[in-house]
Structure 1
Amino acid sequence: MRRTKKMPYANGMPTPEDIAFFKENGYWISPKIISDERLEKLRDRMERVYKHEFETGISPTAAWSHETSRPNSLRKTDNAHWSDLTIRALAYDPLIGKIAAALSGADTIRFWEDQLLLKPARSGGNAANVGWHQDYHYWPCYQNSETLLTAWVAYDDVDEENGCMQMVPGSHRCGVLQGSDFYEQDLRKQMDYIAATMEQCAGPVPIVMKAGQISFHHSLTIHGSGPNVSDRVRRSSALHYVTGETRYRAGYADGYAEIQQFVAAGGKDGDIVHGEMFPVVYKRA
């Protein structure tokens, strides 16, 4: 497995060697930058969102519910930052934005979407799996995959036993591939796809992390995760960012509320995305 240099800049910023690793492999794991105290509050706020206790009075676009969902299934809630100010503060964190800018080489980073993700303890089988996928497969409303990246914040220690993410190093250089499916929970069905299209790539490799670390990945990096067979829950936030050069592509995935508001405000094909649904979280001075 390829490893990053263990001497980060102050405050968790990546070194030039780390940035080179990201460009080569399509992902990078930060040191611990979220404090234990903050993590405990995030875990509490996550549970409140699951109980539909929305601090702002605004519901997420899709909300997992104790009342209606299977107890051992993957919990996925979209746009929890609309509903909770603690989760919003994480999404808008300027340090995360600054790291995203360093890895992508951008001067400006805007936030646009998040997901809360939880794998219950002892949720073996396929119910809590995440299929092999590229994030950009779901985001063709943006013209260039190079301007999009994700920060995955570990609320708990994660390893192979409790279903950590798996990344395919270098897969971001292979373009948009067929067969990408977050919702395909039978990972074996996708292995032929991985083997057939990723012969030039190493991996997949497990992304083992401590609570408070953040993994960053390119929008074309293939990733997925298996079951949680441990007695430990696996909680996280996936935070999605765009650079200041990101342009809208009309006619694709316009169902996103952020895109709908951008278009309603006059946004047209080829325009740089902006507006209150795409807040700037970092801008280089």
Structure 2
Amino acid sequence: MPDANGVPTQEDIAFFKKNGYWISPKIIDDERLERLRMSMERVYRHDFETGKPPATAWSYETGRPNGLRKTDNANWSDLTIRALALEPLIGEIAAALAETDTIRFWEDQLLLKPARSGGNSSNVGWHQDYHYWGCFQNPETLLTAWVAYDDVDEENGCMQMVPGSHQWGVMRGNDFYEQNLKKQLQDMAGNEERSTQTAPIIMKAGQVSFHHSLTLHGSGPNVSDRVRRSSALHYVTGETRYRAGYADGYSEIQQFIALGGKDGDIVHGDMFPVVFQKS
């Protein structure tokens, strides 16, 4: 069990190292959750508090009403979401799980599955986050914190993890928008002796799940009467190194290059703000 502040114990860290994920106790209180839900709604209506739009923004005018809503870098646009991304306790937990001294934030996704968006319209295909992050050399230094704004279970499309899959290396077949989850997982695992047993990540609002950048995860449709809202927050450690020429389209990477960042350099700078650092 984690300590009174939610920081994982050595037993929790061992679980993360074996399985590639870990779920915190409730660390975001109800009042803050309500502010986050209100911020999400403002972003969807393109009411940007800072005046800066996200990298990509779902909107009521153009978005599919029953499909998955995905907005990249909402933290650019809303200070409440930005404060969540820079939450020191989330950074401290990430540092403990990654066994590092320094955690830096670099990007986020705002995610919503509407109620009764059945069929496959709000599925998230099986993927490893690192598949999209080849601009970094060392996947073991990257992890995601997924913050539940609502209670999540299998009925409203909770995440599913493949325990231990972070030890399989980088896999082909990653597709965030794949809808046939069963076939995709079978194809990715192939005929090798790999267990494709999945674990549902059932959480209460205010809990945070953490996963390794190579952990296979996805989620099914929301067939309930309850909305499923969340933020996926992505972090790097103080050991993360840049790999030149791959996925350099990220705004943060472009700024890093502009500062003189070269292949093999430790990523740093204002575009990768420190969230937690051991004193």
TM-score, structure 1 normalization: 0.96
Tell me, yes or no, if the aligned pair for 1:170 and 1:202 is still in contact at 8 Å.
no
Specify which of 140, 150, 154 is matched with residue 148 of structure 2.
Answer: 154
Partner of 2:158: 164
Specify which of 106, 124, 147 is matched with residue 118 of structure 2.
Answer: 124
Give the Cα–Cα distance (whole angstroms) in 2 for the partners of residues 149 and 67 of structure 1.
33
In structure 2, the gaps of 5 or more residues are none
Change (3 A) 1:150 1:198: farther
Partner of 1:48: 42
1:219 counterpart = 2:233 = no
Q: Deviations along 1:98-148, whole A, 9 cap, x unmatched?
A: 000000001000000000000000001111100000000000000000000
Partner of 1:78: 72
Give the Cα–Cα distance (whole angstroms) in 2 for the partners of residues 143 and 69 of structure 1.
34
SS at match of 1:113: strand
Q: 1:249 is matched by which residue type in structure 2?
A: R
Tell me, yes or no, if the aligned pair for 2:157 and 2:221 is still in contact at 8 Å.
yes
Give the Cα–Cα distance (whole angstroms) in 2 for the partners of residues 17 and 140 of structure 1.
31
Query: Once the 2 structures are TM-superposed, how far is the Cα of residue 46 of structure 1 from its aligned partner?
Result: 0.3
Partner of 1:135: 129
Give the Cα–Cα distance (whole angstroms) in 2 for the partners of residues 127 and 181 of structure 1.
14
Specify which of 11, 14, 18 is matched with residue 24 of structure 1.
Answer: 18
Give the Cα–Cα distance (whole angstroms) in 1 for the partners of residues 225 and 152 of structure 2.
12
Tell me, yes or no, if the aligned pair for 2:189 and 2:196 is still in contact at 8 Å.
no
Give the Cα–Cα distance (whole angstroms) in 2 for the partners of residues 197 and 272 of structure 1.
38
Percent identity between the aligned chains? Answer: 78
SS at match of 2:5: helix
Query: Once the 2 structures are TM-superposed, how far is the Cα of residue 36 of structure 1 from its aligned partner?
Result: 0.4
Give the Cα–Cα distance (whole angstroms) in 1 for the partners of residues 92 and 202 of structure 2.
23
SS at match of 2:140: helix
Instruction: Out of 199-208 and 54-63, give the one that drifted further.
Output: 199-208
Partner of 1:4: none
Correspondence 1:257-268 to 2 at 5 A: 257-268=251-262
Partner of 1:244: 238
Specify which of 249, 255, 272 is matched with residue 278 of structure 1.
Answer: 272
RMSD: 1.0
Query: Once the 2 structures are TM-superposed, how far is the Cα of residue 191 of structure 1 from its aligned partner?
Result: 3.3
Query: Once the 2 structures are TM-superposed, how far is the Cα of residue 181 of structure 1 from its aligned partner?
Result: 1.1
Give the Cα–Cα distance (whole angstroms) in 2 for the partners of residues 197 and 262 of structure 1.
41
Give the Cα–Cα distance (whole angstroms) in 1 for the partners of residues 137 and 186 of structure 2.
29
Q: 1:145 is matched by which residue type in structure 2?
A: P
Q: Deviations along 1:162-182, whole A, 9 cap, x unmatched?
A: 000000000000100111111
SS at match of 2:215: coil
1:206 counterpart = 2:200 = yes
SS at match of 1:12: coil
Give the Cα–Cα distance (whole angstroms) in 2 for the partners of residues 91 and 37 of structure 1.
17
Give the Cα–Cα distance (whole angstroms) in 2 for the partners of residues 199 and 58 of structure 1.
48
Query: Once the 2 structures are TM-superposed, how far is the Cα of residue 15 of structure 1 from its aligned partner?
Result: 1.1
In structure 1, the gaps of 5 or more residues are 1-6
Give the Cα–Cα distance (whole angstroms) in 1 for the partners of residues 233 and 191 of structure 2.
27
Runs of 4+ deviating beyond 4 Å: none
Partner of 1:102: 96
